[in-house]
Amino acid sequence: MEYYQEYLIHNFKLKNCKEFKESDLAKGISIYEVIRIKQGIPLFLEDHLNRLFYSADILNLSISESYCDIETLIGELIKKNNTKEGKIKLIIRFEKDNGSLEKDLLIYFTSHYFPSDEEFNNGVTIGFCNATRGNPNAKILETEARTKANDTIAEKKLFEVLLINDDGFITEGSRSNVFFIKDNKVITPPVRDVLNGITRKNIIKLCKQNNIEITEGKIHFSEIQNMDTVFLTGTSLNTLAVKELEEFEFNTKNEILNRISDLYKKLIEKYFTSKV
């Protein structure tokens, strides 16, 4: 069961998690966001909601709820569960039924894992997985690519896998975005090929604001050995160095990476302070 804590919100109603069947999410098409909760505050909520509505637009779907509606519901869920740290999953499910479009709104605390101090300090081990998501720019609940990635992670005991498309180019992690550093230049796969993660977007913005050279470009899996540093970004990860990818090892103490990590931590604190 993915639900964590006692209560969830289903179509504006507060319910016990036991009242909702997780199998119902397999029907139709669902767009979603996973939002980190820090001291009771949804981190970068505006960015998450912007992406949620963008996902709907890409798929020609319509969300009737307002930003204010969703923010209020999230606040109620945090208060009812008396939980100020963790992650919340927001799902809007659409399903055609006899010619009409049925919709479900679901918000709940989901189980989470935040990297340990050792992983942040020393980096993590990751691998490759030949898989692509059907519509990379929309955040959709998909099973095929995620299942394949999860199987690879479990089989090889990895922290994460990078997805490789049919042409051999690296796109993104199964639940993260990826950046490379070569000769003090930061490179990340093109936005058209990936889900534009909230952390990814902020990292790119911070680099441009602070004169750190960054570019979007395709990286073939065969080029990975030429990189100095590899790091992941995501809701739970912030910026997380990779120490090993397949048989290759990387510098986890890169000066540019350290600078980016410090800038991002300051951005989080600035956002948090503005909401307190």
Biggest CA pair distance of the chain: 58
CA–CA separation, 203 vs 261, rounded Å?
9
| CATH number of this structure's domain 3-110 | 3.30.470.10
Phi-psi region of 99 (alpha: psi -120 to 50; beta: other; left: phi over 0): left
Q: N- to C-terminal Cα distance for the chain? A: 33
Each residue's pLDDT expressed in tens, for the chain with a length of 276 residues: 578 889 999 999 999 988 877 766 777 899 999 999 999 999 999 999 999 999 999 999 999 999 999 999 999 999 999 999 999 999 999 987 766 778 899 999 998 889 999 999 999 999 999 998 888 898 998 768 888 999 999 999 999 999 999 999 999 999 999 999 999 999 999 999 999 999 999 999 999 999 999 999 999 999 999 999 999 999 999 999 999 999 999 999 999 999 999 999 999 999 999 987
Exposure of 103 by Cβ count < 10 A (0-12 exposed, 13-18 middle, 19+ buried)?
A: middle
Vertex 175: Cα angle to 142 and 71 (nearest 5) = 80
Indicate the DSSP class of residue 124: E
Indicate the DSSP class of residue 110: E
Q: Are residues 108 and 17 in contact, defined by beta-carbon separation less than 8 angstroms?
A: yes
| CATH number of this structure's domain 117-273 | 3.20.10.10
Torsion of CA 244, 245, 251, 252, to 10 degrees: -70
The predicted pLDDT at position 190 comes to 97
- The Cα-based distances of 21 to 4, 73, 110, 237, 249 in angstroms read 14, 20, 15, 29, 43
Q: Where are the domains of the chain?
A: 3-110, 117-273
